[in-house]
Amino acid sequence: MKYKGLYKFVFMLILLSFTQAALAEAYSGIMTKEKQASMTPQEVLERLKEGNQRFISGQMKNRDLGAQASTTTTGQYPVAVILNCMDSRTPPELVFDQGLGDVFAMRIAGNILNNDLLGSMEFGTKLAGAKLIAVIGHTGCGAIRGACQHAKLGHLTGLLQKIQPAIAQASKATDGKRECTRAEFIDQAAKDNVLMVIKQIQTNSPVIKRLIAEGKVGIVGGMQDLATGQVTFFEDASMMPKN
């Protein structure tokens, strides 16, 4: 019995060490200016892939978001700009298991592109130092289906109009037919939409096109499977620096 107090003391020390280790892991997730500058576009892509694997396996990092919020008040150094759909099941910070300050998340129905989003991408890359632009669509996209069915509703009508070229592209494989109720057709149109947005970014932004040509920024598309959370990147259609 005389050792009971000693055992309790040792146990508390061990518990404290585990707590400190957990907190250290949380703090280590903060992206710094030096770390951002040292990363290549390919390394950022690998970071997103690894984060997505943690997401789908249920092994996401244990972050202290309160501490991250406090630590990042003096600056932010995101490594990626992610344009994806506003669908509530596709939040990029969760899907790629990233912390506060790690990525710029740009969300809009159908992950379409407009000048305001393009300007934000230019800020995120040229001025804020992000190394990768990722355009991510997803399976079962309601915006893609709405565009296919010519849905009309206020300002949404104009947004869906931007997706029509992707619907037309997908229709080439079905003899021009819009198979709006077939999941495979909608998913193919979603993929075509991602690939078209990637081209639009490079065509409409000399700033980003130059950054890609200089090897400072990469651009890649991908699709998230809503059923599994898995993101498949279209690396054969990407523009990544050779390093």
Residue set of the binding site for Zn(2+): 85, 87, 138, 141
Which one, of 145, 147, 151, 177, lies nearest residue 165 by Cα?
Answer: 147
Residues 6+ apart with CB under 8 A from 222: 134, 135, 136, 137, 194, 231, 232, 233, 234
Distance (Å) of CA 51 to CA 17, 24, 59, 218: 26, 19, 9, 18
Alpha carbon separation from 69 to 26, 64, 73, 131, 158 (Å, rounded) = 11, 9, 6, 22, 37
Annotated binding site: 85, 87, 138, 141
Residue 217 · residue 134 · CB < 8 Å: no
For residue 68, the SS3 value is: helix
* Residue 114 amino acid letter: N
